Structure 1
Amino acid sequence: MRTHVTDHPLIAHKLTTLRDRSTDSPTFRRLVDELVTLLAYEATRDVRVAPVDVETPVAPARGVRLIAPKPLVVPILRAGLGMLDGMVRLLPTAEVGFLGMVRDEGTLMASMYATRLPDDLSNRQCYVLDPMLATGGTLAAAIKLLADRGARDVTAICLLAAPEGLARLEESLAELHLPVTVVTAGVDERLNEHGYIVPGLGDAGDRLYGTV
């Protein structure tokens, strides 16, 4: 597993405003949208393309285009939905699947309640959207499901990650033999006793949708 922590002043600026408890939900949603698009540039560095010839108004030119099968973007409900627009803005031709997952706040274990994915993901590049990589259980379960359906490689885009979550994710996926990359705006100090990232930014779903 590879972890890429972005290093860009605009990303750091937007993340700082997201952390601020005084940032209201409309501003939080807009900043998440903008931040995901910036992270997506890093996450799609290895997206598959093929050479193509085009005619400019002046002369022929050689370029590249995305090739089939199309990338699959998979937001994890509910908070991952707040990241979807920012991702498909960069990859408008990508297909979108959905995973509904919930974490038991007592055991911190993730369970799945909804799946809307193609049955066959052979040779597909998948991009999973999950704002907070905290304990790592939710993301590990999602990636294992994609692997079971034949995904070629998986990139997870997270606003923030905890060291414990990254370690658990790497351990959980060690036997998959699937290329996995985590792209995040930051790795914070630790998890608290409730499984929240510290200092973090709170519950991303609540802050996105105004439920507190």
Structure 2
Amino acid sequence: MHLTVLDHPLVDHKLTLLRDKNTPSSEFRELVKELVTLEAYEATRNLSTTEKTVATPVGVAHGKKLNESPRPMVVPILRAGLGMLDGMMALLPMAEVGFLGLKRNEATLDIITYAQRLPEDLTGRECFLLDPMLATGGSLATAVHYLHDRGASKITAIDILAAKPGLERLEKEVRPEIDFSVVVCGVDDELNEHGYIIPGLGDAGDRLYGVVD
């Protein structure tokens, strides 16, 4: 597993605002979008390209273009991951979008898959998993193996915040043959007894969309 923690004043500033419990949902959503776009710049660094020559108004330029096939796959983990989709697609509009519904049993912390909308065959495709919080790591490990079992060649998780225990779990549980990376804006040390990141930013889904009973 390769971990990238963004180190930039803009990221630090926006993440601090995101953590603030007084930040309203409308501003919270916009901050998530902005942070994901900044993360996407780093996460897409190794996308495959081909040489391309274009005519400028005054000459010929030799450049590069992203390969159109196979298309990258962006996979938000429902529901909180949906709040990250616009920020990712702003930078990668040619990508295809799939969805994966995972939830955590709050009593046992086991991961339950309740929905999916993905191609059966992801052979050769680079996939980007979106989930604001990498807490226990259980949901992300499940999602990574789900995509790899369908043939994904490279998987990159984009998270706003990660907890050290979750990252340690991924190091142990994600199969070593998987080409897997994680990009985050920050890393916190602890989880509480309910599996929430401390100090974190609270429940990202609730802060994006409101409390669901």
Q: Distance in 2 between matches of 1:203 and 1:99?
A: 19
Point out the more displaced range, 78-87 or 50-59: 50-59
What is the CA–CA distance in structure 1 between the aligned matches of 2:161 and 2:101, rounded to whole Å? Answer: 20
Following superposition, which runs of at least 4 residues in structure 1 exceed 2 angstroms of deviation? none
| Residue of structure 2 in register with 1:128 after alignment | 129
Q: In the alignment, what sits opposite 1:140?
A: 141
CA distance in 1, matches of 2:65, 2:147: 25
Deviations 1:138-169 (A, max 9, x none): 00000001000000000000000001000111
Between the aligned partners of 1:159 and 1:69, the Cα distance in structure 2 is 27
Alignment partner, residue 191 of structure 2: 191
Query: When the two structures are superposed, what TM-score results if normalisation uses the length of structure 1?
Result: 0.98
Matched with 1:18 is 18
The whole-number CA distance in structure 2 between the counterparts of 1:81 and 1:33 is 10
Work out the CA distance in 1 between the residues paired with 2:142 and 2:167: 14
Partner Cα distance (1:34, 1:102) in 2: 25
Residue 84 (1) aligns with residue 78 (2): no
Other-structure match for 2:114: 113
1:178-204, Cα deviation, whole Å (9 max, x unpaired): 110000000102111110001000000
Gaps of 5+ in 1: none
Report the TM-score, using the length of structure 2 for normalisation: 0.97
Instruction: Report the AA paired with residue 127 of structure 1.
Output: F
1:43 corresponding residue in structure 2: 43
Give me the whole-angstrom Cα distance separating, in 2, the residues matched to 1:13 and 1:108. Answer: 32
SS in 2 for 1:171: helix
1:157 paired to 2:158? yes
Find the aligned partners of 2:72 and 2:175 in 1 and give their Cα distance. Answer: 24
Superposed displacement of residue 63, structure 1: 1.0
* Aligned mates of 2:154, 2:110 — CA distance in 1: 24
- Letter paired with 2:154: D
Write the distance in 1 (CA, Å) between the matches of 2:27 and 2:211: 15
Q: What is the rounded CA distance, in whole Å, between the counterparts of 2:97 and 2:56 in structure 1? A: 32
* Unmatched 5+ stretches in structure 2: none
Contact 2:126 2:155 in 1 (8 A): yes
Q: Which string of whole-angstrom CA distances, capped at 9 and with x for unpartnered residues, describes residues 20-78 of structure 1?
A: 00001001001000110001101110111111111111111111111111110000000
Question: Percent of aligned pairs with the same residue?
Answer: 62
Q: Equivalent residue for 1:66?
A: 66
The count of corresponding residues between Structure 1 and Structure 2 is 211
Query: 2:172 is aligned with what amino acid?
Result: E
Alignment root-mean-square deviation, CA: 0.8
Instruction: Give, as a single letter, the amino acid of the residue that structure 1 aligns with 2:23.
Output: T
Cα distance in 1, alignment partners of residues 121 and 57 from structure 2: 41
Letter of the 2:166 partner, please give it: G
